Amino acid sequence: MTVRSKSYLVVAFALAVTGCAGQNTHDLLNKTTVAAPASDIAATHEIFVATTRQRATKDPRQVYDGDRSLTTSFARVDVTVPKSHQVGAIERAKGSANSNPAKEFTAKDVTFYDGAPQFAKAVGADIAMRGDRALVFVHGFNNGFDDGIYRLTQIAHDTKYTGTPVLFSWASSGKTTGYIYDKESANAARDDLEATLRMLAKTRVKSIDIIAHSMGTWVTMEALRQLAITGDRDLGGKLGYVVLASPDIDVDVFKKQMIRYGKPDKPFAILLSGDDRALKLSSLISGDKPRVGDYGNAADLASYGVVVADLTNTKGGDRLNHAKFADNPILVQLLGDRLRTPAALRSDEPDAAQFDNIGQGLGKAVGSVAEIVITTPFKVLTVATGG
């Protein structure tokens, strides 16, 4: 295949899929206030934000757009979740229409902080109030600011996470054709994520959990690598769970990152899937090099001290199979169970019985028999999640 024909193939494939998100617009705020009875609202989640995006000026409803900033900005977004919400779903208004809080996720307030000290004070107070834990989510390729806000809201809500949710939003263009731009934006955001993690570690927090998705796993691994180089890879003992979902990282690069980081002391999980169509595109763009998220040798990855969960035989919420960790009801429940107990109190070894108990009967909710193959540095477990 010639370079030119491969380029056409990449563009055609990109136009055929939707990356990590599916919205044609990236409006977060409503044009007008839409009211809903309190009885129709399940919860309001306060999402704290550190972002390397520019403030949106052309369309303020986006709040932050896809342009890069050389400094980190800070905010908090309050999001309501309707009682009609289904686990694993993100119910959203179509296009730029107003959200109905009785039926859809709705961002109702945005608070901007003048700088890191003001943000640190606010997020620190929330962490202290909620039990001294924080969950940092790092989104992936083709995500607008709105996509990250709503995905973290859904994760926090569906997993029943009791700590403080913090979105690290790097400057993705939010376009399927913006892969190279996004890659460079991810590179530019490494120091900012490292600084954000260090900031959180200086609060009263006892455990900082990280969930990263797709290209966001690259930002995360680079930040962890930088922490390791400075001799503070576990943030003074405060680093909790690290979950890398559908990692869009070259396998060889990941191995070098792990060699520098060293074998983790706390639970460190890789969630991969052999039917991830978004990562097929990434591999094609990257010279047909395998990505960690669809790598076929789980034992090879586990030898670096991580736990690998192969989700190939579980059902995804869309045709890309790229966000199973969050949009499959079974997997959301499993993730919530893992997060419920702080990492410092959890054994590194997954317990098959715990997975079986949670998965019992839930397979019918997604309409198929499913199993997860879990590979640890010590053994392989096959866990049935329903039928």
Q: What is the pLDDT of residue 110?
A: 98
Q: What is the pLDDT of residue 333?
A: 81
What integer is the mean pLDDT of 47-64?
97
Find residue 45's DSSP bridge partners.
79
Q: What is the pLDDT of residue 346?
A: 65
What integer is the mean pLDDT of 19-46?
86
Q: What single-letter DSSP state applies at residue 40?
A: G
- Joined together, the tokens standing for residue 270 give 């890789």
Task: Report the domain count for the chain.
Answer: 1
Phi, psi (deg, nearest 5) at residue 372: -115, 130
pLDDT band at residue 305 under the 50/70/90 scheme: very high
Q: What is the pLDDT of residue 360?
A: 36
The amino acid at 62 = Q
pTM recorded for the entire structure: 0.90
Render pLDDT for 136-154 as a digit per residue (tens, 0 to 9): 999 999 999 999 999 999 9
What integer is the mean pLDDT of 38-58?
97
Residue 306: pLDDT over 80:
yes
Helix (H) or strand (E) holding 212: strand 207-213
Which stretches within 277-386 are classed as H helix? Answer: 277-285, 298-302, 324-327, 329-340, 352-359, 363-366
What integer is the mean pLDDT of 116-143?
97
Q: Give the mean pLDDT of the chain.
A: 87
CB 207 within 8 A of CB 238: yes
pLDDT band at residue 284 under the 50/70/90 scheme: confident
Q: What single-letter DSSP state applies at residue 349?
A: S
Highest mean pLDDT among 56-65, 269-278, 325-334: 56-65
Residue 124: pLDDT over 80:
yes
CATH number at residue 303: 3.40.50
Residue 318: pLDDT over 50:
yes
Q: What is the pLDDT of residue 14?
A: 47
- pLDDT > 90 in the chain, percent: 67
Mean pLDDT is lowest, of 118-127, 138-147, 251-260, 281-290, for 281-290
b/e map of 364-376 (b: 16 or more CB within 10 Å)? ebbeeebbbbbbb
Q: What is the pLDDT of residue 355?
A: 41
Q: What is the pLDDT of residue 384?
A: 63
Closest CA relative to residue 283, chosen from 13, 63, 43: 13
CB proximity list for 106: less than 8 A, separation 6 or greater: 30, 34, 79, 80, 99, 100
Domain of residue 49, residue span: 3-384
d(CA 216, CA 222): 10
